[in-house]
Structure 1
Amino acid sequence: MKPIRVIGIGNNMAGDDALGPLTIQAMKAKPLDDVELIEAGMSGLRILDVMKGADVVILIDAVRSGRIPGTIHRLVIPDDLGLLKQSAWNSGATSTHGFGLGETLTLSHTLGTLPPNTLVYGIELSHTNIGTDVSSSVKKAIQSVVSTIKKDVEAYLCMNSNS
């Protein structure tokens, strides 16, 4: 079986933008077998290299789409690339990653390098103030995302246990 990678994107020093790495840290407390947990920082195009060779990739990032802070978005890629590009995962919006996640995944899809099972979890952020803590609504959402990712991984492993 090819690797399963869960990748947290974000800036640990910018309030709610730390949610990707914080999700990975929460998952490391009770890691799953056969799952690589990666804190990617503010990677932009580096995500393409981190995804290479994986069969399953689950990305976690902050999003700003105008919904209530802590709202969780779950997107299946490539089906939901249009939705991804409409939100703040696109560098033309408010991404802190330079080349936005939407653009990066669109490029991967275009190049034919997108892992066959790619999910994106976005958590609606409240603030990105440097040196501040993550908001309580985002902390609650992180725990929910951790639980849901574990279910996604278990479902994938069950579906592919005979291969």
Structure 2
Amino acid sequence: MSGLCNPRNRPGDERGEEVRGGVAPRVTVLCVGNLLLRDEGVGIHVARELLKMDLPPNVRVVDGGTEGFGLLDFIWESDRLIVVDAVRGGQEPGTLYRFRPEDVKEGRQLRLSFHDLSLLDVLKISEFADRRPETVILGVEPARLDMGMELSPEVARKLPRLIQMVLEEIHREPEGG
């Protein structure tokens, strides 16, 4: 299912509608994870809920699955990037996270879903190419990573709040604007 997005906002679409003072930034909500490993699939559960909503036309929701380099086009075509994933930060299961790539210290790697390479590596490549959008990462500490498609109770309870955090980011004013 990776790479699916809301049909009105596929890669290459023009920016969103006119807004006060200019054109709305292209916002990509990149939901990643492995749906077959319970809480590892939380990003995909978020994508499914967001795709049911009437989001602004400049917002693209992408089910990134477990892709790595395959997501570069989605990242590079965005002005703002909101990543949703399971984050193993060593806290209690169900703990919610919000951070920016630059908040992660060198040598301390929060574990994210990208299997072949880390999300931070993909973002470093984007930065090196001078194509990294303003980025925020939202996630939840997983409780269970065994085979299964249902979220653990700890993560399922946090799903509505995680979705609300994504909506808040979508409607947040861009930095410097």
Q: TM-score, normalised by structure 2?
A: 0.77
Residue 52 of structure 1 contacts residue 113 of structure 1 at CA under 8 Å; is this kept in 2? Answer: yes
Question: 5+ unaligned residues in a row in structure 2: which ranges?
Answer: 1-23
- Residue correspondence of structure 1 range 26-105 to structure 2 within 5 A: 26-33=49-56, 34-77=58-101, 79-82=102-105, 85-89=108-112, 95=113, 97-105=115-123
Question: Structure 1 stretches (4+) deviating beyond 6 angstroms?
Answer: none
Other structure's SS at 1:82 match: coil
**SS across alignment from 2:81:** strand
Mapping for residues 101-116 of structure 1, pairs under 5 Å: 101-115=119-133
CA-to-aligned-CA distance 1:130-149 (integer Å, 9 cap, x gap): 12421111112221111112
What percent of counterpart residues are identical? 24
**Which is higher, the Rg of structure 1 or of structure 2?**
2
1:126 aligns to what SS in structure 2? coil
What's the TM-score once normalised by structure 1's chain length? 0.83
CA–CA distance in structure 2, aligned partners of residues 65 and 32 of structure 1: 30
Cross-structure match for 2:20: none
* Number of residue pairs matched by the alignment: 152
Q: Measure how far apart 1:113 and its partner are.
A: 1.4
Aligned residue in 2 for 1:153: 170
Q: AA paired with 2:84?
A: I
The alignment yields a C-alpha RMSD, in angstroms, of 2.1
2:161 — aligned with what? 144
Q: Identify if the C-alpha distance between structure 1 residues 81 and 45 changes in structure 2 by more than 3 Å, giving closer, same or farther.
A: farther
What secondary structure is seen at the aligned counterpart in 2 of 1:152?
Answer: helix
Partner SS, residue 111 of structure 2: coil
CA contact (8 A) 1:14 1:130 kept: yes
* Structure number with higher helix proportion: 1
